[in-house]
Amino acid sequence: MATEGTAKITSGLELTKDEVRRYYARPDVQKQLLPYLRGQDLLVGQSPAFNQIIYKRYDKGNPIRISTPKDLEWYGDRRHTEFHPTIGAQTNKLWVDLDSGSSRDLSSLKLLVPEVENALKKMPQVKNTSITFSGGCGFYVRGELDKHYPTGEMREKLKAVVRDLAKKRDDLVVDRPPNLNEVRLDISTFHDKGSIRAPHALNSATGFISMPLTREQLKGFDPVNDANPRKLAAAKEFAPGIPAARLTYALPDLQDKTWTMAIQLHNAERAGKHWDLRLVDPNTTHAHSWAVPKAKLPSPLDPPVLAVHTPTHTAHYALNYGVKGPKEISEGYGKGMVEMVHKEPVNVISSKPDKIKFERKVNGLPQQFVLFQTKGQSWMLKNVTKTTKEANMTPFQQGRYFALQKLGLAETSTDRPSTLEAPTPLETGDEEMPAGQLAAALAQLPEQMTQAKALTGKGENVEGHLNRNTVWSEPHPISNEMATGPSPVMPGRF
């Protein structure tokens, strides 16, 4: 890899790696950005830390090319924050970068942009022009040429145009950085192997989007509102943490991976109090989510707990919303208070679309849990840790124990291993979160909430559905077919 240079970043949004990745993983961003990148050798900017950018042209000795959404996501996953198509000895495009001095604001530049665009339109080789916010402290004015021309030849023609403009105003310069009250008409990057930031790419120094603009949009343009990827993400969410598409992604096929488990308590106005369990895949940043009835995960020998699969949330929401205390969702179906009560790394032993097995430490000892699908959105959460008691029980004894426990007649805790007699706290490793609590990892699940009535058939809320009475209230005769049929699978067997 060849490093072209580094530059210090002094201000901006300080986007996290996850925010950068999520921005470039958005289908709408990919659709807008990829046409500017396909077929081009690229200069890319990578930000290993917010105060540094590393620019490079080559990856393992080869020119950097991005042609598909997967290519873009690969670079986004590795915190490549910006992408610059380059030109060679021949070009069918040109550009001017309007860069202001430190005492000039964007409003004064807005008046100059149409003047520069008009000057480019008068060039006989230019057939189309466009305006783009640079993502920093200026604007790009681009020209599309009617065919390919020698880059050196077009550079001289463009230099003549901007110098003519500079002669008309005392505050315009061409060949040097601008002073406090000046504006530079910069063409220094327009040359063989030169480059300019692609529209819709991020600016590493500020975190803002290099946003294409019409002249009408230019007048009221405000980067904080109109080029802010955080506001763009929020505007496209169906609800906090739930993208507009409201998709429920299938669990991936994998084994032996470290994920993050998070649990949040959600006191929802419409859905009622419930807990959301999140398992966050760091590779995809999908927060696979289930609503569960209790804060504490089941112990060994406890019966399985109903878990309702909900739309996939964003990792950012799953790991951050409500961390510093209860946080309000002010409107929408998830209206209510959300509080993060626990998160920790867990080892995913295996994962398939309909089942995931993971391991975490309880009182310093490993315990294993399985989430498995039963029907539709209904899943079960089971602690499958082998204990001395369970190891000595036959399937019939296990079934008997669970039945008695359901009826409230189970043996006392003295029948269980001593390590399970006391409530098991969850180690958080985070002093901001109250230890000993376990609650739903993330925001609310709008799609699941809206289906609560259909799921229960009685219109009860999520908490009521998850804790519904499953004991028959009336005698249920057993048919001969049922009585003589194959032996049922005993509860708790997988």
Are 352 and 327 within one domain?
yes
447 in helix, strand or coil? Answer: helix
| Residue 489 is assigned to a structural domain of this protein | no
210 in helix, strand or coil? Answer: coil
| Residue 483 is assigned to a structural domain of this protein | no
| Residue 481 is assigned to a structural domain of this protein | no
Are 252 and 360 within one domain?
yes
What pLDDT score was predicted for residue 492? 34
Are 248 and 313 within one domain?
yes
Are 55 and 152 within one domain?
yes
| Residue 121 is assigned to a structural domain of this protein | yes
Are 271 and 138 within one domain?
no
Distance of CA 97 to the CA centre of its chain: 32
Are 306 and 425 within one domain?
yes
Are 395 and 448 within one domain?
yes
The CATH number of residue 196's host domain is: 3.90.920.10
Which residues lie below 8 Å from residue 378, measured CB to CB, with a gap of 6+? 306, 308, 309, 455
Q: Of the residues 234, 259, 277, which one is the last residue of a structural domain?
A: 234
| Residue 147 is assigned to a structural domain of this protein | yes
Are 108 and 154 within one domain?
yes
Are 27 and 136 within one domain?
yes
Distance CA 457, CA 465 (A): 10
Are 113 and 141 within one domain?
yes
Q: How many domains would you assign to the chain?
A: 2
Distance of CA 12 to the CA centre of its chain: 20
Query: 380 near 305, Cβ under 8 Å?
Result: yes
What pLDDT score was predicted for residue 409? 62
Q: Of the residues 183, 204, 234, which one is the last residue of a structural domain?
A: 234
- From first to last of its 494 residues, what are the pLDDT tens digits of the chain? 333 444 433 457 888 888 888 899 888 899 899 999 999 999 999 988 766 889 999 988 899 999 999 999 999 888 899 999 999 999 999 999 998 877 677 888 898 999 999 999 999 999 999 999 999 889 999 999 999 999 999 999 999 999 999 999 888 999 898 888 899 999 999 999 999 999 999 998 889 999 999 998 998 899 988 999 988 877 777 788 888 777 888 999 999 999 999 999 998 887 788 899 999 999 888 999 999 988 789 998 889 999 999 999 999 899 999 999 999 988 776 788 999 999 999 999 999 999 999 999 888 889 999 999 999 899 999 999 987 655 566 767 767 766 665 666 655 433 333 333 233 344 333 333 333 333 333 334 444 444 444 443 444 466 666 666 544 444 444 334 333 334 333 333 32
Helix/strand/coil (H, E, C) string of 375-403? ECCEEEEEECCCCHHHHCCCHHHHHHHHH
What pLDDT score was predicted for residue 85? 96
pTM value is: 0.52
Are 67 and 125 within one domain?
yes
| Residue 478 is assigned to a structural domain of this protein | no
Are 250 and 196 within one domain?
no
Domain of residue 343, residue span: 244-466
What pLDDT score was predicted for residue 388? 60
Both tokens assigned to 297: 């995960």
| Residue 473 is assigned to a structural domain of this protein | no
Taking CA atoms, 242 is separated from 19, 74, 446, in Å, by: 15, 23, 8
| Residue 285 is assigned to a structural domain of this protein | yes
Strand segments, DSSP code E, in 269-335 are: 272-281, 286-292, 305-314, 327-329
Output phi, psi for 402, to 5 deg: -65, -40
What pLDDT score was predicted for residue 293? 87
